[in-house]
Amino acid sequence: MTMLEMKTRVKDFISHFEEDAKTRDFHSCSTGLTSVESGVSQYDDIYMSEEIPAFPGPLLSAKMQKDELMRFIENKCLECLQDLDNPQTQKSYFFWSILNHICKCNGKVMIVEIALILFKGYKFLRNKLRRVERQEDWCIPLANLLCTNAPRNEHRKAIISMGNQFAARGWTYAAHICYVVAHMELGSRPIFKLIGCDGRLPDRKSDMREAIERTEVYEYALSLNSGFGQADFQEFKYIHACELAKAGFDDQALDYCTVIAKEILRIISCVRSDALKMVIALSENLLGGREEPEWLKKLRQQLEYRELHSSFSDEQSSNFKGTAYLQFDPSEHTEFDLEYTVGEMLGKGGFGHVYAGVRNADGKEVAIKVLLKDIDDQYITIPGETHSLPVEVALLEMVSKAPHCRNVVELLEWFDAPDYFIMILERPIPCMNLYQFCKHNNFCLSELVAREIFWQVVQAACHCCERGVLHRDIKPENILINPETLVVKLIDFGCGDLLKNEIYTSYSGTPGYWPPEWVLYKQYYGIPATVWSLGLLLCFLVCGNFPFNNNDEIVEGYLQLLPDLSDKCRDLITCCLEKDARHRPTFKNIQDHEWFLDTVENTSVNYILVPSQIRKIKSI
C-alpha cells in the first residue's frame, strides 16, 4: 500500500464521520444518555436492559457477525461526538477510530496508518467542532512518534515507553491508546486491564459494562493476529456473563461461558480451581438441565483430576490469570534448548513464570524462571565487575557464589534469549511455599517448628546482606519449605537491590510489609527494614496472622499477640517490630536471642503429603 493510498483511506474514514456528525440523529445510536448537559445515564443503576443497544459479543465466538461489530464501533464513534466537551470522551473517539480501522483491515495495519488517524482526528476535532482540550499533549507527540523510521521492535518499545510516561502523569486513557497501538497484552501493566480504567473498577454499572465492551473489542483486534483471547481478561468476561444472566440474557451469557472455557482450557495450568468451579456453576445454571457441551465436560474433568491429584500449587495462580500469559518458546535460544527440557508451569508472579525442567546431561531436576524482556528492565553492575546485568540475575549471582547458603535458592546458570532472560535455579523436591505450609497446618505452628523455620530465614537474610544484596520482599510466599525436613530456601529476588549504607527513597516490596519509616517518611535503611519484615514473618508463624492490617496500624505499632506465647518469643517479635528503626536488633542480636537458646525436649515431628493437605502425624 502506498502512502497516497493510506492517506486516501484515512481521509475517507474521517470524512465518513464528519458527514454523519452533520446529518445523523445521534439519539438513534445512544446508550441511554439523557441531555448532554446532565451527562448522567438513566441506566446508571442497571447493567443491561432491552433499551441498551446490544453489544455483539462474545466477539471470539463462532456466532459473531463482523458487520454487527463494525456497526457497533461506528455507533460508538458517533456517540463520542455528542459529548466532546469531555476530554475523556475525546480520547474515546480516538480509541474507537483506531479500533474501527484495525478491525476493518482484519488486523493488518501499518503504524503509519494509525498516525494518519491521529492527525486527521485531531484536525477534525479542532477545526470542525472546536472542542479539543489538551489532546495536543499526547495525541500529536504519539502521532509524530508513529511517523518516525525505526526497526519494528525499537519502534514498539518507544511507543510503550511513551505510554509509560503518560501513565506516570496520570493520563491513563492516553497511555492505553499507546499500549493498544503497540499491541500489548492485557494485564502486562497493572493499569492495563480494562481500557480507559486506571486499575480500579468503575463505580457505576454502566461504566463497567462499557469498559468491558471496549476491552473486548481490543481483545478481538489482538486475536486477528494471534488467534487467541487475552488470559487476563477472562475474569471480566465472567463478570459480564453473570450480569447478562441476571438481566435475563441467558443465551448470550452461555455463549460467554463457552469462549471463557476455551481460553481456560488453553492456559489450564495457570487457572485456579475456584475459577473452574465458578464457570462450571454458572454454565450449569444457564443450561438448566440440558445436555452438557463438550467444553463443560472437559472443565469438570480438569477439576476432578485436580481434586484427586492436588499439588499444593493452586494458591500460586490467580482466579483466571494474574499476568499476561507468557508464550515461552525454548527454541528461541539454541544453547538452552539443547541443554534443558521444559516441563509444566510451577508458578507465576509479577516478575515472570517458573517452569519445571530437567538438565539433559544428568537428569537433574531444576526450576526454570523466564522473565519477559521489557523496555523498563533495570540493570546493575556487581561491585568489582564492569558489565551490567538484569537486577534479579545480578543479585542471584552474588548470593550464589561459594560458599553458598543452603537457605537461599541457588542460581545455576542463566541465558540471554532474544525476548527473555532465562534463569536456571535449583529445585528442592518436595516443596511448597511457607504460606501454603502454614495454611495446611491450620495456621497453627508450635514455637518449636516456628523456631526451626525462622532461624533458617534469619540465616538467609544475613547471608544476602553479607553478600551485598537487599532482598526487600521477605514474606511467606517467597520462602520454599520441604515439608519432610523443614529446610527452607529464600526465593524471588525480583524486588531486590544492592545493599548500601545510604538511605533508600524507593520501595519495591509488598505494601503490607512496609516498615513505619517508609510509611511516614518515604525513606528507610536496608537492614532495619529487613529486620522489620522478619518480625512480621515470626508473628505470622506463631500467631497465624499479621499484626497490622493497614498503614495506620503500622505507624501506631500496637501489637496484640496470642496469650500463650512464651515471653522470649514475645520479646523477639517486639524487638524486631520496634517502631524506631535505630533500636531494632541486628542479625547477630537476633541469632543470640534467648528464644533460640531455649532447650527443648527431643521431640520428633513427622509430616506426610496427602492429596489435599499436610497431615501432622505427631503433635508437638
Q: Which residues are annotated as a binding site for ATP?
A: 369
What is the residue-wise DSSP string for 308-322?
Answer: HS--S-GGGS-SS-S
Question: Distance between CA atoms of 29 and 474, rounded to whole angstroms?
Answer: 54
Question: Distance between CA atoms of 591 and 462, rounded to whole angstroms?
Answer: 10
Largest CA distance in the chain: 89
Question: Do residues 233 and 215 touch, judged by C-beta distance below 8 A?
Answer: yes
Catalytic residue (choose from 473, 492, 552, 567): 473
Question: Distance between CA atoms of 319 and 5, rounded to whole angstroms?
Answer: 46
Burial of residue 165, with CB atoms counted within 10 A of its CB: 0-12 exposed, 13-18 middle, 19 or more buried = middle
Give the Å distances, CA to CA, from 527 to 472, 551, 588.
9, 20, 12
Q: Among this protein's residues, is 473 annotated catalytic?
A: yes
Question: Distance between CA atoms of 196 and 168, rounded to whole angstroms?
Answer: 15
Helix, strand, coil shares of the chain as percentages rounded to 5? 50, 10, 40
Residue from 333, 399, 395 nearest 368 by CA: 333
List residues bridging with 33 in a β-sheet.
Answer: 41
First to last CA, the chain: 76
φ, ψ of residue 240 in degrees (nearest 5):
-60, -45
Question: Do residues 590 and 458 touch, judged by C-beta distance below 8 A?
Answer: yes
**CA 146 and chain centroid, separation:** 28
List residues bridging with 524 in a β-sheet.
Answer: 504
**Positions marked catalytic:** 473
